[in-house]
Structure 1
Amino acid sequence: MTHHDGGELQEPRDDRPPPQKQPVFNLPFIIVAVLGFMIAIQIGSAYLMSDTTYEAFLFTFGFIPARYTIPLAQQGLEWLWTPVTYSFLHGGVEHILFNGLWLMAFGAPVARRIGTTRFILFWVISSAISAFGHAALDWSSITVLIGASGVVSALMGAACRFAFPPRGQRYHPSFGHLLPRQGIVQALTNKTVLIFTIAWLAGNALIAVGFPLFGDVGGEVAWDAHIFGFFFGFLFFGLFDPKVASGEKAASID
């Protein structure tokens, strides 16, 4: 619309700033760093190592359950770091792509919520819990466990405590990490959380009986590591979360 001012037609001014475009991938730095680290390891192991070197690399940084049946004094120090380092190794492009996509989906909101330091601590502990949960079913196994699937499963469990709000609330990537943390019982009575958890457990049950649906593609799937990781994240997320639970006095947002 135009208006008349002193005999001259002028277009109205719009002083509002142009809308800002939201980036397609707005990931926390720690998620980008972990993804970059895993990709660098994959490229190095796939293209810069001989078969012999790669086998030694897996022995040094992969998780082997049978390692813990041998007295620690009779072996090197690999037992000390492999419960964590295995989570950064992957068996191929499909494996790292799958875990990377789930890491972005569930790791990003958790990282935004608990911060970098707590996220690193969560990663270390959930990685070890997933590994030893897997080993608990067969301590004598010499199969090398690699992949971030256990940690990603723990992040899924953690996200179930806040990223699926009860009816009447809405999740949005820009503020979803600020939603109140639901209690364990409250989360289990949340229809969305319950359906997601049942579907996820059913998928792993199918993997356990021989149907490779998702997870550690390219090799035997450590479905047990997924389950231990998920329940660790779901049950113990409150220990890492500085935000108060739903129903309590709202925490300040910094």
Structure 2
Amino acid sequence: MSDERAGSSGADTLERSVERREPAFNLPSSLVVILSVLIAIHVLRTYFLSPAADEFVLLQFSFIPARYEPSLMAHDFAWVWSPVTYSLLHGSWEHLIFNSFWMVAFGAPVVRRIGTLRFAIFWCLSAVAAVALHAAFHWEAMIVVIGASGVVAGLMGAAARFVFSPSGRISRQFAHLNRRLSIPEALSNRSVLVFSGIWFLTNFLIGFGQSIGAGEGNTIAWEAHIGGFLFGFLCFPLFDRIPPVPQEPSRRS
């Protein structure tokens, strides 16, 4: 039996032995802080700001592709900060709760692995990457984009590089200790492929459904989701503080 297979078996045994002792809620403090900030902002907007004041906040801090029309950039400086601040605003409690749920699921192992400072930088850059792809599809359009969905997608893409154990299972407590997969390894890993395939298919179906529905009201910025996911998946090694462990060649006994 190869050493690699023996190591995988040991890791799976460790996961099973601690599974019963994993607390239901054990979130990194920095993740608790950002979730608290998101909730506080939404409470303030929903219950304390007048409709006119809330509209001002949206115009100043949401991402709008039309801001990047050259004649407007000299007069509206929100194009500087809005590619990040839009991720702190949400359209409804349902929107916020949905993003928070997935942030807890995939953000926790990423934060445990890269730490608070890298997480803060990752948040900002994944938010920018998400709306950059959205803007590429809707250049200079008057579309208001808010929500942390692009960042959440970035956390999902980052987690796909390391969160799955050799057996394909995920341990909430120890997933952050797994070896980071290279891109070729990730693209040949069944768990990663199934997870990523379902995720991309869902977003493409959302985009296709919106394009044929063409109704009024709020829509899902699926392009931003894809931009965030690709950023997290491709750029995660820039934030990873646990270097990949080189695989030793298998030895036959």
TM class by smaller structure: 0.7 to 0.9
Mean Cα displacement is larger for which, 222-231 or 132-141? 132-141
Alignment correspondent of 1:86: 86
Q: Flag structure 1 segments of 5+ consecutive residues without an equivalent.
A: 1-19, 213-217, 250-254
Alignment correspondent of 2:68: 68
Secondary structure, aligned partner of 1:220: coil
Deviation at 1:247, TM superposition (A): 2.1
Instruction: Tell whether the 8 Å contact from 1:183 to 1:246 is kept in structure 2 after alignment.
Output: no
Secondary structure, aligned partner of 1:242: coil
Alignment correspondent of 2:221: 222
Q: How does 1:200-215 map to 2 (within 5 A)?
A: 200-210=199-209
Instruction: Tell whether the 8 Å contact from 2:165 to 2:178 is kept in structure 1 after alignment.
Output: yes
The separation in 2 between residues aligned to 1:246 and 1:72, in whole angstroms, is 49
Identity %: 48
CA-atom RMSD, angstroms?
Answer: 2.0
The separation in 2 between residues aligned to 1:69 and 1:178, in whole angstroms, is 45
The separation in 2 between residues aligned to 1:72 and 1:227, in whole angstroms, is 28
The separation in 1 between residues aligned to 2:196 and 2:245, in whole angstroms, is 20
Instruction: Tell whether the 8 Å contact from 1:87 to 1:146 is kept in structure 2 after alignment.
Output: yes
The separation in 2 between residues aligned to 1:24 and 1:196, in whole angstroms, is 23
Deviation at 1:113, TM superposition (A): 0.2
Q: 1:33 to 1:166 in 2, by over 3 A?
A: same
Mean Cα displacement is larger for which, 151-160 or 173-182? 173-182
Secondary structure, aligned partner of 1:209: helix
Deviation at 1:244, TM superposition (A): 1.5
Q: How does 1:101-180 map to 2 (within 5 A)?
A: 101-167=101-167, 170-180=169-179
Alignment correspondent of 2:7: none
The separation in 2 between residues aligned to 1:181 and 1:66, in whole angstroms, is 39
Q: 1:25 to 1:204 in 2, by over 3 A?
A: same
Instruction: Tell whether the 8 Å contact from 1:150 to 1:229 is kept in structure 2 after alignment.
Output: yes
Q: Which has the higher helix share?
A: 2
Instruction: Tell whether the 8 Å contact from 2:65 to 2:140 is kept in structure 1 after alignment.
Output: yes
Counterpart of 1:163, as a letter, is: V
- Tell me if 1:243 matches 2:239: no
Mean Cα displacement is larger for which, 74-83 or 146-155? 74-83
Counterpart of 1:136, as a letter, is: A
Alignment correspondent of 2:97: 97
Secondary structure, aligned partner of 2:209: coil
Q: Considering only CA atoms, is the larger Rg found in Structure 1 or Structure 2?
A: 1
The separation in 1 between residues aligned to 2:230 and 2:69, in whole angstroms, is 26
The separation in 2 between residues aligned to 1:164 and 1:33, in whole angstroms, is 26
Q: Number of aligned residue pairs: give it.
A: 224
Instruction: Tell whether the 8 Å contact from 2:164 to 2:178 is kept in structure 1 after alignment.
Output: no
Alignment correspondent of 2:9: none
Runs of 4+ in 1 over 6 A off after TM superposition: none
Residue by residue over 1:76-109, the C-alpha shift from the partner in whole angstroms, topping out at 9 and shown as x without a partner, is 3211111000001000010000000000000000
Secondary structure, aligned partner of 1:244: coil
| TM-score of the two chains, using structure 2 as the length reference | 0.84
Residue by residue over 1:144-171, the C-alpha shift from the partner in whole angstroms, topping out at 9 and shown as x without a partner, is 100000000010000000001233x753
Deviation at 1:52, TM superposition (A): 1.2
Alignment correspondent of 1:5: none
The separation in 1 between residues aligned to 2:118 and 2:159, in whole angstroms, is 14
| TM-score of the two chains, using structure 1 as the length reference | 0.83
Deviation at 1:72, TM superposition (A): 6.0
Residue by residue over 1:2-59, the C-alpha shift from the partner in whole angstroms, topping out at 9 and shown as x without a partner, is xxxxxxxxxxxxxxxxxx9753210001110111000011111111112111111101
Secondary structure, aligned partner of 1:206: helix
Counterpart of 2:105, as a letter, is: A
Alignment correspondent of 1:197: 196
Alignment correspondent of 1:57: 57
Alignment correspondent of 1:232: 231
Q: With a CA cutoff of 8 Å and minimum separation of 6, indicate the structure with the bigger relative contact order.
A: 2
Instruction: Tell whether the 8 Å contact from 1:118 to 1:240 is kept in structure 2 after alignment.
Output: yes
Q: Flag structure 2 segments of 5+ consecutive residues without an equivalent.
A: 1-19, 212-216, 249-253
Deviation at 1:248, TM superposition (A): 5.7
